[in-house]
């Protein structure tokens, strides 16, 4: 029998100042927590074959999906279908904390990226690849 995999997202957010931290990776989905500093952003991107669901834990920001903008805050959820250009920006004075579910996984299992710059570099170097099995 499988054990219960449980996270208290607010607690995970408090202890994770990292830009990106992979909390759990399954065969078909992945749970990642992100902390975007004031004035920061995820960066415009498109995941061709990956759906993404983002839930905002704290802070305020702006979602830009296919050129449309929407303010986001604690409790909001945004869906980004595969193939959709998107970006999320922190427009507040405090960190914008969110968790996201990728389907299928997008990042290396257990990956921790302290900053956006580190995350971008590791992706470019091919060192942030999701598991293949």
Task: Write down the pTM of the prediction.
Answer: 0.90
Model confidence pLDDT, tens digit, residues 72-126? 999 999 999 999 999 999 999 999 999 999 999 999 999 999 999 999 999 999 9
**Rounded to whole angstroms, how far apart are CA atoms 54 and 106?**
14
Q: Residues of the chain with pLDDT > 90: what percent?
A: 84
DSSP H helical ranges for 35-104: none
3-state SS track over 15-50: CCCCCEEEEEECCCCEEEEEEECCCCECCCECCCCC
Tokens (6 digits) for 108: 């290396």
Q: Where are the domains of the chain?
A: 9-125
Residue 12 confidence class, pLDDT cut points 50, 70, 90: confident
The CATH number of the structural domain formed by 9-125 is 2.60.120.10
């Amino acid at each position: 029998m499988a054990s219960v995999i449980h996270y208290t997202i607010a607690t995970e957010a408090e202890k994770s100042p990292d830009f990106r931290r992979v909390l759990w990776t399954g065969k078909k989905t992945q749970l990642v927590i992100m902390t975007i500093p004031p004035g920061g952003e995820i960066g415009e991107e498109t995941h061709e074959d990956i759906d993404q669901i983002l839930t905002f834990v704290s802070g305020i920001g702006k979602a830009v999906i296919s050129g449309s903008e929407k303010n986001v805050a604690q409790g909001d959820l945004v869906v980004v279908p595969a193939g959709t250009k998107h970006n999320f920006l922190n427009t507040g004075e405090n960190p914008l904390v969110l968790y996201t579910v990728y389907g299928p996984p997008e990042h290396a299992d257990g990956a921790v990226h302290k900053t956006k710059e580190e995350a971008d570099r590791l992706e470019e170097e091919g060192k942030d690849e999701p598991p293949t099995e």
